[in-house]
Structure 1
Amino acid sequence: MNPLSLPLLILFEHYKGVWDDYFEAIYEVFHQDFVLSKPVFRGKRLGLKRYPEYDGKSATFWHMISTGDQEDERVPDIRRCERIAWPKPIIDNCDEPCLKVWAEPKGKNQRIHIWFENENYLVVLDDRGNYILPWTAFYIQEEHKKKKYNKRWERYK
């Protein structure tokens, strides 16, 4: 059962392979969803991690469209870029039965995971007490990683 309808993927080929045009298009979606709309998660406002900025864009945006262990060496990930319109509706509909939501301690904060298993997509939020930061969001292709997140969900339940 999947009552959650997500926006269509934003495909690179629709921008004729011009990265700058694609980058601006996906940023516009992020800007609309997380800067202009002032979203909330279960009654708590969402902020943005601004720094370090890249190309004048917030660290939150960069984490949602790129991958890499070193902050200054992250590279764009096309699967993340294509799905940039997904985090907000997933957050907005976090209580839908098709989503698995759990929290885990991370330092002095809680990391909230919203796992849309049907779409192999995970949204991660960082609960800072008075507010929440959208931390990252990504598509999961590898079976072992899907199993890992399901085990974490099972532990939480």
Structure 2
Amino acid sequence: MTNAPNWLPPLVLFGEHGGDWDAYLNAIYAYFKQDFVDSQPVFQGRRLGLKRHPQTHGKEATFWHMIQEGAIEEDRTPDFRRCERIRWPRPIIEHDTDPAVKVWRNQRGREERVCLWFEQENYLVILADRGNYVLPWTAYLVEQPHRQRKLLKEYEDYRRSRTGKG
């Protein structure tokens, strides 16, 4: 991380847990639990809920979405880059007014989503807007340059549509 803002916590590295997957999983889950289960986070004045079901191994669905990748729910696999950044979603959500975080809304099917992109580290947090509350949906590192360009375009198009400036 280069010149990361002081509000961004350090990575949680697998090697710091003796290369033991179970110890690492417990450690990253403890951070997730502290940030989203045991406390009452808010986004723009609204409560952050949690997609709790289906629970797998006693852990909420949102947790698994933040540490795993894959299109088919039952076949998702751990992504160490996601795992390392498990402490990032909440501070990014809470610092949505920081110029380092690009925030916009988009439509995914019938749902309105809120995208929070910490472009400096190419890290994207997705929230599902449910009206009275917001659900953290997923978070991941955006590594492909074409995907980064697409996100930037989507953000700029959204800003233009809101300001009327072309």
TM range, normalised to the smaller chain? over 0.9
Structure 2: unaligned runs, 5 residues or longer: 160-166
Aligned residue pairs, count: 157
Structure 1: unaligned runs, 5 residues or longer: none
Identity of aligned residues (%): 54
8 A contact 1:67–1:76 mirrored in 2? yes
8 A contact 1:4–1:96 mirrored in 2? no
Residue equivalent to 2:130: 128
Correspondence 1:1-157 to 2 at 5 A: 3=5, 5-157=7-159
Query: Which whole-Å CA distance do the structure 2 matches of 1:109 and 1:73 have between them?
Result: 24
Per mean C-alpha deviation after superposition, the further-off stretch among 137-146 and 72-81 is 137-146
Per mean C-alpha deviation after superposition, the further-off stretch among 79-88 and 5-14 is 5-14
**Tell me, what secondary structure is at the counterpart of 2:63?**
helix
Runs (4 or more) in structure 1 with deviation over 6 Å come to: none
Query: Which whole-Å CA distance do the structure 2 matches of 1:94 and 1:28 have between them?
Result: 24
RMSD: 1.2
TM-score of the pair, normalised by structure 1: 0.96
Cα drift, residue 2 of structure 1: 5.9
Which deviations, in whole Å up to 9, do the C-alpha atoms of 1:47-97 show, x marking residues without a partner? 110111111111100000000000111110000000000000000010111
Which deviations, in whole Å up to 9, do the C-alpha atoms of 1:5-36 show, x marking residues without a partner? 31110000011110000000000000000011
Amino acid at match of 1:87: P
TM-score of the pair, normalised by structure 2: 0.91
Amino acid at match of 2:111: N
Amino acid at match of 2:79: D
Cα drift, residue 108 of structure 1: 3.1
Query: Which whole-Å CA distance do the structure 2 matches of 1:123 and 1:80 have between them?
Result: 11
Per mean C-alpha deviation after superposition, the further-off stretch among 101-110 and 72-81 is 101-110
Cα drift, residue 148 of structure 1: 1.2
Query: Which whole-Å CA distance do the structure 1 matches of 2:78 and 2:108 have between them?
Result: 25
Q: Which has the larger radius of gyration?
A: 2
